[in-house]
Every structure is written in structure tokens, then in C-alpha cells.
């Protein structure tokens, strides 16, 4: 049973196979999923917003119900502007839970009509994050099992 629209926020610097796993399952659950880049001033991304949006569009092109966007400010405000009723968050490990739980409760207090749903990636991606991928790429490590080929090529060019 599908429930209209969901927002899947993240920095996606870069998008990984773990992110794609969450996107694929979310696209089966919702009529529309907006994969949105959260512009976080506390982080210094490797890729520009435009580069990240390009990578996400390229690797999600086979999903017909995915939209790519970006936002600045509060996530619940963005979700409300987009008329999304659900926020999707990925949980890799127990260590993610405490932070995500606090954010979920805060968001519920700010916007009671928006529900946060936690999706766990396939266990083969449970340890994977963008920082690990960037570190591997920086030192010319193999990233092909962690990111799509298009993203791997972008990483290799960035670190040449």
C-alpha cells in the first residue's frame, strides 16, 4: 500500500549503494520520493550541490517516481512545502539510532502531521557511509563495490 509522497534527505557526498538501496525500497512504498540534498553549513562537502544532484539523477534515472532537489533550513518546513507526509531516514547501526530518534521526536513536535520512517539498508551496506568512500578514493582504494560506476568515475576525477 502506497502513501503519496516521502522526502529522503541527506548530504549524499557522494551517493552510495547503501543510499540507493534505501531509495529503491522507498520507491516501492511511496508514489513519489524526493531525494533532497540537505545543505549543511557544518559540513564541507567534496562535491558541489550541482555535482551531487547530477550524480543522484544519473544513478536513480531508472526510477520513475524519484525527484531530486535540495533545501536549506528545517527539514520539516521543506517537507511541508512539498506536501510530503513522510520523512525517510536510513539506519545503518545502533549508533545511528540515538541521533535519528532525537531528530524524529523533534520533527514530530514541530510538525505532527509528518511521520518519520526508518529504513535499514541491506546488511551488506550496514557499515557503509560517504566519508568512508571518500577516504578510500582519496588513497586510491577500490570503491567500485560501494558506489555506482558513474560515482566512482567522479570520485577518481576529483582525487586526480
Residues marked as catalytic: 19, 43, 92, 130
d(CA 156, CA 141): 10
Q: Would you call 144 helix, strand, or coil by DSSP?
A: coil
d(CA 117, CA 88): 5
Nearest one of 32, 41, 38 to 11, comparing CA atoms: 38
Q: Which helix (H) or strand (E) holds 59?
A: helix 49-59
Amino acid at each position: 500500500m502506497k502513501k503519496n509522497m516521502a522526502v529522503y534527505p541527506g548530504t549524499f557526498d557522494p551517493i552510495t549503494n547503501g543510499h540507493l538501496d534505501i531509495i529503491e525500497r522507498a520507491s516501492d512504498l511511496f508514489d513519489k520520493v524526493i531525494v533532497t540534498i540537505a545543505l549543511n553549513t557544518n559540513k564541507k562537502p567534496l562535491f558541489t550541490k550541482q555535482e551531487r544532484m547530477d550524480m543522484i539523477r544519473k544513478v536513480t534515472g531508472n526510477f520513475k517516481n524519484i525527484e531530486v532537489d535540495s533545501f536549506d533550513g528545517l527539514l520539516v518546513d521543506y517537507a511541508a512545502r512539498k506536501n510530503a507526509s513522510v520523512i525517510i531516514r536510513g539506519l545503518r547501526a545502533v549508533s545511528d539510532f540515538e541521533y535519528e530518534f532525537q531528530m524524529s521526536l523533534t520533527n514530530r513536535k514541530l510538525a505532527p502531521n509528518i511521520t518519520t520512517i526508518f529504513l535499514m539498508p541491506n546488511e551488506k551496506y550496514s557499515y557503509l557511509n560517504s566519508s568512508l568512500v571518500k577516504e578510500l578514493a582519496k588513497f586510491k582504494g577500490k570503491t567500485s563495490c560501494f558506489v555506482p560506476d558513474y560515482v566512482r568515475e567522479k570520485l577518481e576525477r576529483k582525487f586526480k
